[in-house]
Amino acid sequence: MSEEGKKSWFARLKDGLKRSSSKLTTGIADIFTKRRLDDDALEEFEDLLITSDLGVTTAAKLGAELSRTRFDKEVDPAEVQEFIATEVAKILEPVAKPLVIDATKKPHVILVVGVNGSGKTTTIGKLAKTYRDQGLKVMMAAGDTFRAAAVEQLKVWGERTGCPVIARDTGADAAGLAFDAIDQAKREGYDLLLIDTAGRLQNKAHLMDELKKIVRVIHKRDETAPHDTLLVLDATTGQNAHSQVEVFSEATSVTGLIVTKLDGTAKGGVVVALAEKFGKPVHAIGVGESAEDLRPFDAKSFARSLAGLED
């Protein structure tokens, strides 16, 4: 990416994470202005991290490290912000993995799953645009056969990106659609097939069974597929994202996460908690509705934005 492109993305990211970062920076200023690091300050610090959705484990880890290096010393808020940025980047680095498309698969099949409204369809549109711009032949399959609006939404992305969208009537069998889409993508030499699925609540067993069926059918047509199963998580759901990862991982082998709507929430810290707890790759994050608002996940930029610092 060019320096200019990188800069504007950082500005977008920082702007998107503003609600999360201002919660943290305000809290840090309240705790640490003109104060020595004592047990009370440490407890308040850990509470702040927990209420900012970074998770209990991360909070304890950062608290212990801050105590080890600075106990009984006066620490100023800017130093704590730098400390958080460094430690959070260390947690995020192992999971910040770009999505790698193997164009020799013809097609590389990506199944996109998640609860209702998490941003699956929008994310598929944005991914189609990204890979199409890179010169890949991309096809989309409107596997959300429950909702006519979702099919229409994907078709709009199809028009916008110039990528074909395979769709059926409302209520059609999603597994059959996925099967046919793979067939067509193979026949026509597509590099990448993105399959949308209906949003399902993680507590609805039959919907999860249907998801398993889709995977079985895809597998029947190409035993190496799906090559990626991406779980799209809406950051505004905060702690609920944990149970979504657990339940979707039971139903399908979730290979990576995409976290959307980081711009609409103060719960951006949830990305850190998910990394700490599950260690699943985070491929990309969304900080807005336009195609430019979904970008590969970069540990350092995210950590610095979350801590309210410059790149």
Q: Is the peptide bond before 296 cis (omega within 30 degrees of 0)?
A: no
Rounded to whole angstroms, the Cα distance separating 165 from 179 reads 14
Question: Site residues for ligand GTP, window 231-250 (CB under 6 A)?
Answer: none
For residue 254, give the 3-state DSSP assignment: coil
Question: Site residues for ligand GTP, window 31-60 (CB under 6 A)?
Answer: none
Query: Does 116 participate in binding ligand GTP (rule CB under 6 A)?
Result: yes
Asked whether the CA dihedral 306, 287, 199, 136 is positive or negative, the reply is negative
Residue 25 marked ligand-binding: no
Backbone angles phi, psi at 220, to 5 degrees: -65, -35
Interior angle at CA 44, CA 301 and CA 263, nearest 5: 35
Q: Among residues 81 and 260, whose Cβ is nearest to ligand GTP? A: 260
| DSSP-derived pairing of the beta strands 294-296 and 282-286 | antiparallel
Q: Quick one: which of 267, 292, 272 has its CA closest to 18? A: 267
Q: Which of 46, 191, 263, 276 contacts ligand GTP by CB under 6 A?
A: 263
Residue 133 structure tokens: 């711009």
Q: Which of 46, 87, 144, 276 contacts ligand GTP by CB under 6 A?
A: 144
Q: Which of 20, 260, 265, 301 contacts ligand GTP by CB under 6 A?
A: 260
Q: Among residues 102 and 152, whose Cβ is nearest to ligand GTP? A: 152
Query: Does 14 participate in binding ligand GTP (rule CB under 6 A)?
Result: no
Query: Does 147 participate in binding ligand GTP (rule CB under 6 A)?
Result: yes
Rounded to whole angstroms, the Cα distance separating 61 from 42 reads 11
Tell me, what amino acid is at 165?
V
Query: Does 120 participate in binding ligand GTP (rule CB under 6 A)?
Result: yes
Spacing of C-alpha 50 from chain mean position = 20
Rounded to whole angstroms, the Cα distance separating 81 from 59 reads 14
Tell me, what amino acid is at 129?
K
Q: How many residues bind ligand GTP (CB under 6 A)?
A: 22
Query: Does 268 participate in binding ligand GTP (rule CB under 6 A)?
Result: no
Q: Which of 77, 114, 158, 269 contacts ligand GTP by CB under 6 A?
A: 114
CB of 110 vs ligand GTP, minimal distance in Å = 14
As annotated, the binding site for GTP includes 114-121, 196-200, 260-263
As annotated, the binding site includes 114-121, 196-200, 260-263
Enumerate binding residues for ligand GTP (CB under 6 A): 114, 116-122, 144, 147, 150, 153, 199, 260-261, 263-264, 286-289, 293
